[in-house]
Structure 1
Amino acid sequence: MKFWSYLKDRGVSMGLQLLACLLVLLFMYAFAVPMSLVAVSVGIIFSFTLLSWILDYLKRRTFYRELTGVMEQLGEKYLVSEMVEKPDFYEGEMLWDVLYTTNKSMLENITEREMKTREFTDYVEAWIHEVKIPLASLNLMCRDLDRKYIRQLDRIDRQLDQILYYIRSGNAEKDYLIRRVSLAETVKNVALKNKDDLLERGITLEVNLESDTVMTDGKWLEFMLNQIINNSVKYMKREIDGKSGEMMEHESGKLPVEPGKTPGEEPRIRVTSGRAENGVFLRVWDNGIGIPAEDLPMVCRKTFTGQNGRRGAKSTGMGLYIVKSLCNKLGHRLDISSRQGEFTSVTIIFGENDFYFGGMHSDGNISGNLSEM
């Protein structure tokens, strides 16, 4: 608060005070009060009036400076009343009370909405688990029937998993355990889940893991890898031709891009892992239809299906969005490169940092708040 702004705001009251002082002096002069007494009276009145103005200004300036400073630095502006002390002048008290009441009302509304959202997500999670029980029974009952029934049940199961992990991605702290996870075991489990689709489409799955263990959540990694391989299977084509790849720049270092397709090459998915400059990478490469260049920056956006999704593949646009969200929660990075008609490469980079290796328990596990990662 600038002094001139204060004078402008208090100008009327100050003018009236000065006018009152002047009238007192005139009355004293009219009643023949000695000039020495008038001078002393003028000095006392003016000194105390000026002092009251200065003290009032300093008090207001302190409060408003603190208020504006907190507002500039605070991310959650609605918490300003919690960070600023209640002032001892009337206008400031009124402002503080308004801010406090507004903040209290909003927090109550947020808490109520969060409770309703939590109740809904808990219900959906419970419902999904209940649906999975008869689904698993149906899967067993249909083993001797046509494989197409099994595939439809598997599709339902994958969609249920997608919903489940989408919900959990918003409440990550409820369901995660960071530990050393075997990439070989994870790839094996995902390959078994997709065995029927791979065999039916004649897709060769190649696995070459130079680095076998990473620090992550095993369940989440398995889900993410399953989503990526599902996409590779979904957007695979049988007759292919193409070119070779190149080096891909990434913030974790240079990662070699898998080569493209050659005429007559059979459909294949290649899962590889290795060392990056700042950690370990796990890559899923396929020689499918690829992603158009204009769609590539948006493939991880929520509900984005792109040209490939609109050409007949039944896409919800949620798979890579959930994978990206889970990677962010776990402190990993996701990189996607592609060339339309040639290949698609999806890479998860597991960074190595002090949180993972400094906070690890003796059993190789880590617990903590994902929001700190």
Structure 2
Amino acid sequence: MYFSQHLPWWLLFILINGVTLGIGLLDVSVSDLSILYIALINTLIFILFAIWQYVRGRKYTKELMKMDDIDDIESLPLPTTQYQHALQKRLMQVRQSHNMRIDAESVKTEENMDEMTRWIHDMKMPMTMLKLLIDDVEGQKRMKLTNEWQRLEGMLNEMLYMKRLPNIQNDLYIETAELETIIRRSIRKLRTLCMEKDIGFDISLSASSVETDVKWLSFILDQVVANSVKYTENDEISIVSSVVEDAVVLTVEDHGRGIRSEDLPRIFEAGFTSTSDHEDGQSTGMGLYLAGQAAEAMHLGIDVQSEYGSGTRMMLTFTKQNAYHKVKTM
């Protein structure tokens, strides 16, 4: 980089030296040997100056080329040349402008998120009233209205947890959680849909409790169970817990439609629904994404095994003492 940056100076020096030699050779009154000495001395001085400049600014240039972020300016060594001083000053101005824009965007984002949170909480009252009205309806219509109400409540919860996700570390409270209580609460939310689709649950818990955050685990389990219910008809969904190598593994297994092999690596991507089953127009593709993000933040393993046409097995793996539990007990 140094030589390409100073190439015009090298070319200018070669031109000046060439002109000097040319004049000396053409002027018979000037000794050819004297002209040659002058050219050699000029060349030596220029080379020594170039080496001095290169060594002087090498450290700063080397660190500058390693920069990946505008905030890395602070780690740069002190500038040594006028050019480096000017460059450092300009970089500081760019960083200041960048940070001001980031701060402005952060304020806007925070305001938007606060508005969304208020809107979600404001929706809770009409949602509650709507549920009371639905409970007064009889027959098949009540079941259909309840299913739609549950879908609406699920989407509102997705939005609320999406808002909480960036600050999940500050939102976690690790405690001993009873798995059966959380599981039955998730099933209860879907009882109307389960009755309509004739779906039952086989629950067998060898490990009855885990160390985790109840609120976030409930959300993750809601998404996993809802996904199994969605693609199952006239069958049982099994929920089993076991201890494997000092870890509690909670498995939710259904015998529904399953997931295509090409879709498996992408089911935890934001907005992904399916590459082939496009009839799932009601799916947002955000439930499993949020569940995966929350599980990662909680150091909770979440894995999936599936065969298209045979069913799906979702596994949540809890270590006996995760990082948050260690912090809590210090």
Q: Please classify the TM superposition score into its range, dividing by the shorter chain length.
A: 0.7 to 0.9
**150, 153, 158: which one pairs with 2:154?**
158
Question: Is 1:296 equivalent to 2:296 in the alignment?
Answer: no
Distance 2:283 2:198 in 1: 22
- Using the TM superposition, name which of 216-225 and 79-88 deviates more: 79-88
Q: Residues 16, 137 of structure 1: CA spacing in aligned structure 2 closer, same or farther, 3 A cutoff?
A: same
Q: Residues 100, 310 of structure 1: CA spacing in aligned structure 2 closer, same or farther, 3 A cutoff?
A: same
Contiguous gaps of at least 5 residues in structure 1: 20-44, 239-266, 363-373
**2:22 paired residue number:** none
Distance 1:67 1:312 in 2: 50
**53, 57, 60: which one pairs with 2:57?**
60
**108, 120, 127: which one pairs with 1:116?**
108
Distance 2:248 2:292 in 1: 17
Q: Residues 339, 8 of structure 1: CA spacing in aligned structure 2 closer, same or farther, 3 A cutoff?
A: closer
Q: Residues 66, 142 of structure 1: CA spacing in aligned structure 2 closer, same or farther, 3 A cutoff?
A: closer
Q: Residues 193, 67 of structure 1: CA spacing in aligned structure 2 closer, same or farther, 3 A cutoff?
A: same
For the residue of structure 2 that corresponds to 1:106, the secondary structure is helix
Check the 8 A contact 2:273/2:280 in 1, yes or no: no
What does the per-residue CA deviation read over 1:290-331, in whole Å, with 9 as the maximum and x for residues that have no partner?
222232222222222216752356322222112112112222
| Percent of pairs with identical residues | 28
1:228-239 equivalent positions in 2, closer than 5 A: 228-238=224-234
Aligned Cα root-mean-square deviation (Å): 3.5
1:142 is displaced (CA, Å) by 3.0
Distance 1:140 1:118 in 2: 34
**1:318 paired residue number:** 286
Check the 8 A contact 1:207/1:270 in 2, yes or no: yes
Distance 1:327 1:234 in 2: 21
Contiguous gaps of at least 5 residues in structure 2: 19-41
Distance 2:126 2:6 in 1: 77
Distance 1:274 1:60 in 2: 62
Check the 8 A contact 1:281/1:347 in 2, yes or no: yes
Distance 1:357 1:154 in 2: 33
**1:255 paired residue number:** none
Question: Is 1:360 equivalent to 2:325 in the alignment?
Answer: no
**1:241 paired residue number:** none
**1:36 paired residue number:** none
1:196-211 equivalent positions in 2, closer than 5 A: 196-211=192-207
1:88 is displaced (CA, Å) by 3.4
Q: Which amino acid aligns with 1:60?
A: G
**333, 343, 349: which one pairs with 2:311?**
343
TM-score scaled by structure 1? 0.72
Q: Which amino acid aligns with 1:330?
A: M
For the residue of structure 2 that corresponds to 1:285, the secondary structure is strand
Q: Residues 211, 48 of structure 1: CA spacing in aligned structure 2 closer, same or farther, 3 A cutoff?
A: same
**183, 187, 206: which one pairs with 1:191?**
187
How many matched pairs? Answer: 313
Q: Which amino acid aligns with 2:323?
A: F
- Using the TM superposition, name which of 45-54 and 302-311 deviates more: 45-54
Check the 8 A contact 1:291/1:308 in 2, yes or no: no
What does the per-residue CA deviation read over 1:132-178, in whole Å, with 9 as the maximum and x for residues that have no partner?
12211321343232333333222211111112112222332442223
Question: Is 1:168 equivalent to 2:164 in the alignment?
Answer: yes
Q: Residues 151, 279 of structure 1: CA spacing in aligned structure 2 closer, same or farther, 3 A cutoff?
A: same
Distance 1:237 1:305 in 2: 20
Distance 1:282 1:140 in 2: 34
Distance 1:268 1:79 in 2: 55
What does the per-residue CA deviation read over 1:30-77, in whole Å, with 9 as the maximum and x for residues that have no partner?
xxxxxxxxxxxxxxx999998866654432123223323x42xxxx42
Q: Residues 88, 188 of structure 1: CA spacing in aligned structure 2 closer, same or farther, 3 A cutoff?
A: same
- Using the TM superposition, name which of 6-15 and 110-119 deviates more: 6-15
TM-score scaled by structure 2? 0.80
Question: Is 1:270 equivalent to 2:238 in the alignment?
Answer: yes
Q: Residues 300, 46 of structure 1: CA spacing in aligned structure 2 closer, same or farther, 3 A cutoff?
A: closer
Q: Which amino acid aligns with 2:122?
A: E
Question: Is 1:332 equivalent to 2:307 in the alignment?
Answer: no
Check the 8 A contact 1:211/1:275 in 2, yes or no: yes
Q: Which amino acid aligns with 1:178?
A: I
For the residue of structure 2 that corresponds to 1:160, the secondary structure is helix
Q: Residues 185, 329 of structure 1: CA spacing in aligned structure 2 closer, same or farther, 3 A cutoff?
A: same
**2:79 paired residue number:** 87
**255, 268, 274: which one pairs with 1:287?**
255
Distance 1:145 1:61 in 2: 79
Q: Higher helix share goes to which structure?
A: 2
Question: Is 1:126 equivalent to 2:118 in the alignment?
Answer: yes
1:66-105 equivalent positions in 2, closer than 5 A: 66-68=63-65, 70-71=66-67, 76-105=68-97
**2:30 paired residue number:** none
1:193 is displaced (CA, Å) by 1.5
